[in-house]
Structure 1
Amino acid sequence: MALPLASVQLYSLASEFSADMHGSLERLAAIGFTTVEAFDFVGRPAEIRSALDATGIVASTGHAPLLSDELWTPDGAIPTPEPGVVFEAAAAIGMTTVFDPFVAPERWLTEDGVADIAERLNRAADVAATFGLSVGYHNHAQEFVASFGDQSAYERFIELTDERVQIELDLFWAQTGGQDVTALAARLAGRLTAVHVKDGIIPAVNPWGPDGAKFSSDSLDQRHPGTGEVPLAESLRANDSIQYAVIEYDHAPGDVFDDIAAGFTFLRDGGFVA
């Protein structure tokens, strides 16, 4: 099987990218990236596409809310557009898959809530197909708080979504949710299209669990891939359906471009990417 491509979630450098799209992408290209994962792209597709084309990078995947009225980030919420508007922008940029990056914690606590999330994403897949796109879901840690019988809410969601709904597994956040992430990556089989290659010291308490306290991205101790507590190498080797290994920092420990370059070196030197 072909190795994944190295990518980077542009949320990691949100301020730098907004200030200078072309310059930011040039720096990523110099590191070695040929593809990126877009964030906050719906209101500026032409500008982003122009910067991508000028630097020879593509945005194969992107994050945008498909199931919520607001997109949560650790530092505030962003109002969301209709799915059709999202897909139109994604298609203009040249994406293949749009991942919903966050669904509110309370919606994962009941079986009816999880069923509703899955049904909505299945319907979004129908709309996305009319634009030549696929949809998927990217986890944090709230999906692992509730269990129904011997299934986590996340695993119930996987069971209820169509096979065409793709999965992007954030390894740091899944481990924060108490998961054996290597085993989870293997169980996702052909559904696992992308992983977020994110490392650091796992929070002692799941921020979305019953004992969680309010937090922001600044409270996270995230580190260069391969230097924290997440079994990245084992997880990347656990599933041969992964197409994108996506570097992301919710809280970059230093200069963000240096931190991203360290992640790329980990992927390249470890033989994890093409």
Structure 2
Amino acid sequence: MALQSLSLQLYSVRHALDDDLPGTLARVAEIGYRQVEASHKLYARGPELARAVREHGFGVPTFTSPLVALPGREVPDVEEVFAAARELGATAVIDTYIPEEHWTSRADVATIAAGLNAAAEHGLRVGYHNHWWELERRFDGRTALEVLADDLRPEVVLEIDVYWVAVGGEDVLALLDRLGDRVRFLHLKDGPISRDNTQQLPAGRGKLPIDEIIATTPQVEAGAVEFDEYAGDIFEGIAASFDYLRPRTAA
């Protein structure tokens, strides 16, 4: 079984993007990536992102932005977010980071689910991306992430960061099996299973069972390479992940 498609989360090269967005996306294309996961924050800087996406023919299966308004959390105009996603050709808008302090109770989870469900009324699919705390936090013996999934509308999807699942103490394959078809996108990073972001490694060089993860998620539409940090040259890191995952990708 192979990934349906391979993408790069542009957060991985954010520092290079700050210095030279067109040049960075040119390097990403030279490595071989044909899809990227872009963000509203990056899009809102100006027309360079959309221009570079068109120039290099990138697909943008997923577009990220805060969607759920919570105390102390700024959310951009949701209509503008979805308009930007449509311009880039995205099929889903993913809320990628709801901080740990908003996951303290079952009521917190219900509030997050309600926000995601409301965002799903804007015409594109909506999704949520996990970190480790949604796995560490448990309610009635179940992870907060699974409790969230129960509260979501059927069309709201999950983008599972498999590394953070492992850091959160869960068996990655077992969790993916329990979540089933709700999982439509993956974030693929590797490493020693540590919260120290500088220890993250290219896919295939750490402790995650990448091949088994791919085999157990045939419904996944895109796997996105991501590094929160990288101790080496980030372009070498994303190239190493590409070289490992491309033979495991159908298109």
TM-score normalized with structure 2 length: 0.92
Q: Secondary structure at the match of 1:124?
A: helix
Quote the RMSD (CA, aligned, Å).
Answer: 2.1
State yes or no: 1:89 paired with 2:84.
yes
Q: Does 1:231 align with 2:209?
A: yes
* Contact 1:98/1:136 (<8 A) preserved: yes
The superposition leaves residues 183-205 of structure 1 with CA deviations (integer Å, 9 ceiling, x where unpaired) of: 212222222111111101112xx
Following superposition, the deviation at residue 80 of structure 1 comes to 3.4
Letter of the 1:169 partner, please give it.
Answer: I
2:20 corresponds to 1:20: yes
Summarize deviations over 1:89-142 as a string: whole Å, max 9, x none: 222222111110111212212111101111110011012x1xxx2110000011
CA contact (8 A) 2:146 2:179 kept: no
TM-score, normalization by structure 1: 0.85
Q: Which has the higher strand share?
A: 1
Aligned equivalent of 1:201: 192
**5+ residue gaps in structure 2?**
none
Q: SS at the partner of 1:28?
A: helix
Contact 1:185 1:238 in 2 (8 A): yes
What is the CA deviation profile of residues 200-252 of structure 1, one whole-angstrom value per residue up to 9, with x for unaligned ones? 1112xxx6xxxxxxx7x4xx311121111222221111111111111000012
Shift of 1:58: 2.3
- Aligned with residue 132 of structure 2, among 129, 141, 145: 141
Matches within 5 A, 1:1-274: 3-39=3-39, 40-44=41-45, 46-68=47-69, 79-127=74-122, 129=123, 133-203=124-194, 217=197, 220-269=198-247, 271-274=248-251
Change (3 A) 1:238 1:134: same
Answer yes or no: is the 8 Å Cα contact 2:138–2:144 preserved in 1.
yes
What's the secondary structure of 2:30's corresponding residue?
helix
Specify the code of the residue in structure 2 equivalent to 1:110: S
**Greater relative contact order (Cα 8 A, min sep 6): structure 1 or 2?**
2
Contact persistence 2:131–2:161 (CA under 8 A): yes
Give distance in 2, aligned partners of 1:146 and 1:62.
27
* Aligned residues of 1:67 and 1:120 also touching (Cα < 8 A): yes
Name the aligned partner's letter for residue 189 of structure 1: G
Give the paired residue count: 250
Report SS of the residue matched to 1:167.
Answer: strand
The answer to which structure has the higher helix fraction is 2
Percent identity over the alignment? 36
Could you tell me how far apart the structure 1 residues matched to 2:91 and 2:215 are?
Answer: 24
Deviation (angstroms), 1:71: 9.7
Q: Distance in 2 between matches of 1:86 and 1:42?
A: 9
Tell me the secondary structure at the aligned position of residue 155 of structure 1: helix
